[in-house]
Amino acid sequence: MGALLVLTTACGGGDGDDGKGGGKNGGGQKTSEAQVAIAPKDGSDGVATSGALKVTARNGKLSSVKVADSKGRTIAGRVSADGSSWVPDTHLGAGATYTVDAVAKDEDGRESAEHAKFTTLVPKNTFVGSFTPEDGSTVGVGMPVSLRFSRGITEPGAVEKAVKVTASPAVPIEGHWFGNDRLDFRPEKYWAPGTKVTVKLDLDGVEGRPGVYGKQTKTVRFTIGRNQVSVVDAKTKTMKVTRDGKVVKTIPITSGGPGTETYNGQMVISERFAVTRMNGATVGFGGQYDIADVPHAMRLSTSGTFIHGNYWSAKSVFGSTNASHGCVGLSDLRGGGNNGTQAAWFYNNSIIGDVVVVKNSQDRTIQPDNGLNGWNMSWDQWKAGQ
């Protein structure tokens, strides 16, 4: 009997023991009932940069998901309200290797983990965005952020999501598409002087059109300078230059003559040339003019509207007669330079991004996409997108 008693004691279980080597009241730990699944599978190659990555949990809730590339940069994401799934907030980079580590807990708090590693596709066709203004520049209060893409975009939502424009001090900033290859950003009103603007392009891996992916990651920063807005009145043939709310100079001008009137509207200086050639044949005026050395020229439209120096007209024209082919002319001397003329003064006191407003001309208002001139749209029109 003694031997039998010893055997029974050694083999029998205590209270609550299920005979499987552990339990809530035993010395072991039950395996978690939670199950984690990662898509794509471990070892996958050529994975799509959008829509392919997803982590799910069964019989439990996700408690941790970490996705990182080979350089340690993490991908943010969101766990669903019920804890059953996780998806990234953004696209993945192209030709990159990612690791995924996910943990879920069952209702008793026991953890289950899963690991996967995969590589995204290497695109055959790519696009980039050229941008203005330049990184590190100081620009006028009217300067938008303007991106021109090397390929026509058929997925504008995906591309716009990959461009982030912020300002300090902060203001609401919205994007607007002009056609399928240009995306501009601006606030509701002109920027405040001193504003610091940051543009982050995260286009790498974005599918902008079927089979065509972005390959650009870049940060651009620029600063808004003083507030200079110049108002050209085609009726009085004068321009008032206002800086930080004060009129600093009134300049006699000549604008477009009958049949070639200057556009009305808000126009932003997009380029500056100390001297440039102007040939009427390039803007639809045939051989009406070809001036090789136009001084102090600043572009206001893509179609050829400039505000520039004029040395070939009599000084009596300025302030009295509208005689140009659509440009705004200021009295100048041949050769340009710092020659003390009205045109030289205005050129030396202007920067890219300054605003020139034309009013009381007999022409229509300039189109918003003709140059950097989106200010000619209402805020509601701008936010409508395209």
Q: What type of residue sits at position 183?
A: L
Stretch (H or E) spanning 379: helix 379-383
Annotate 355-375 with DSSP letters as a single string: EEEEES-SSPBPPTTTTT-GG
Catalytic residues: 308, 327
pTM of this prediction exceeds 0.85: yes
Stretch (H or E) spanning 277: strand 271-279
Q: What residues does each domain of the chain span?
A: 33-119, 125-225, 228-373
What pLDDT, on a 0 to 100 scale, did the predictor assign at position 26? Answer: 40
Q: State the Cα angle at 268 between 297 and 299, rounded to 5°.
A: 25
Distance CA 315, CA 342 (A): 11
The upper half-sphere exposure of residue 149, i.e. CA atoms within 13 Å in the direction of its Cβ, equals: 30
The upper half-sphere exposure of residue 173, i.e. CA atoms within 13 Å in the direction of its Cβ, equals: 25
What pLDDT, on a 0 to 100 scale, did the predictor assign at position 9? Answer: 32
The answer to whether the 33-119 and 125-225 domains have the same CATH topology is: yes
What pLDDT, on a 0 to 100 scale, did the predictor assign at position 365? Answer: 98
CATH topology of domain 125-225: Immunoglobulin-like (2.60.40)
What pLDDT, on a 0 to 100 scale, did the predictor assign at position 64? Answer: 97
Closest CA to 198 of 173, 233, 231: 173
Whole-Å CA distances, 178 to 44, 207, 277? 39, 19, 29
Q: What distance lies between CA 289 and its chain's CA centroid? A: 39
What pLDDT, on a 0 to 100 scale, did the predictor assign at position 1? Answer: 38
Superfamily of domain 228-373: L,D-transpeptidase catalytic domain-like (2.40.440.10)
What pLDDT, on a 0 to 100 scale, did the predictor assign at position 385? Answer: 77
CATH topology of domain 33-119: Immunoglobulin-like (2.60.40)
What pLDDT, on a 0 to 100 scale, did the predictor assign at position 28? Answer: 55
pLDDT per residue rounded down to tens, the chain (386 residues): 343 333 333 333 344 443 333 333 344 568 999 999 999 999 999 999 999 999 999 999 999 999 999 999 999 999 999 999 999 999 999 999 999 999 999 999 999 999 999 999 999 999 999 999 999 999 999 999 999 999 999 999 999 999 999 999 999 999 999 999 999 999 999 999 999 999 999 999 999 999 999 999 999 999 999 999 999 999 999 999 999 999 999 999 999 999 999 999 999 999 999 999 987 666 666 666 688 899 999 999 999 999 999 999 999 999 999 999 899 999 999 999 999 999 999 999 999 999 999 999 999 999 999 999 999 999 999 999 76
Two tokens, residue 301: 């439209």
* Cβ pair 288, 297 in contact under 8 A: no
What residues contact 221, with CB distance under 8 A and at least 6 apart?
135, 136, 196, 197, 198, 199
What pLDDT, on a 0 to 100 scale, did the predictor assign at position 20? Answer: 36
What pLDDT, on a 0 to 100 scale, did the predictor assign at position 287? Answer: 62
Whole-Å CA distances, 100 to 26, 113, 168? 34, 10, 35
